[in-house]
Homo-oligomer: A and B are copies of this chain.
Amino acid sequence: MTDTKRAGCRIGIFDSGVGGLTVMKQIIRLLPHADIVYFGDTARLPYGGKSPETITRYSIENAIFLLKEESIQFLVVACNTASACAIGHLQQIFNIPIVGTIMPGAEKSVEVTRNGRIAIIGTKATIASGAYQREIQQLLPNAQLFPIACPLFVPLVEEQFVDHDATKMVIQTYLEPLIGSGVDTLLLGCTHYPLLREVIQEVVGEGITLVDPASSCAEAVSKLFSQPPSHSSLKPEYRYFVSDDPHKFQLLGEKFLCADISDVRLANNY
């Protein structure tokens, strides 16, 4: 099988770790015949507490890896933190279509809200960047926004404390400012947060709609194709690269992708 045979439909996705697999899952649902190469920067994760400069540098390196080594034609920045801090730089540097989570997540939130009061939760870097806030304000200038950084959510999910009482208490602490705020929409601005969806919903109550940008991001990716990569006798090819510990990525990743993962390779020297 040559690369030419598959030309034109290889999507590259990068994330700081496994979280972006939730985006990949949605892309597979909409574009079941596309080839996908996933890169998880597991040696340098997490990105959420780092500076915009470092996040941008890492994002550029990840994009170069996917372009040079894997000849991708489309780039998806599945990591909300990297989308928030680096997508503008990536779009300036690289001459291929690039989709992140911010615009699709903002559009979805604006579509969902009835009263314009929207809470945004994410990593420190995502919230501090103001990226979601800017996009939502552009679409809905009268929106009232409640941005909250929730840096402990990622480690709690990664350490499989999702059903632990401590996690509920941490969620209550972070989301306390929303009590009485009148918010009707809560944007889950990090790929890990949908795994806490049930507890978050329990804490904020059923009246608030939770928005996960992953499916909106996948829809934006599918719109890049005038027609979706067509059915052929070839099965779509999924490749996985990480900068550290392929085995750990595979084990945790299967929970995020909700499917088997095989052939995870190590990209050296990150």
Contact = CB atoms under 8 A, between A and B. Distances in A.
A51 B161 contact: no
A161 B174 CA distance: 11
Nearest to A165: B169
Interface stretch (A79-87, A108-116, A149-157, A213-221): A149-157
Contacts of A269: 57
Contact of A50 (B43, B49, B159, B173): B43
Nearest to A155: B155
Interface string A33-76: 00000000011100001110110010000000000000000000
Count of chain copies: 2
Contacts of A155: 151-152, 155
A216 B83 CA distance: 44
Given A44-B43, A44-B44, A159-B152, A244 B164 contact: no
B50 A244 contact: yes
A214 to B, nearest CB: 23
A170 interface: yes
Contact of A170 (B42, B158, B161, B244): B161
Contacts of A245: 50-51, 54
Contacts of A166: 166-167, 169-170, 173
Given A43-B54, A51-B244, A155-B155, 6 more contacts: A43-B50, A51-B245, A151-B155, A151-B159, A164-B173, A166-B167
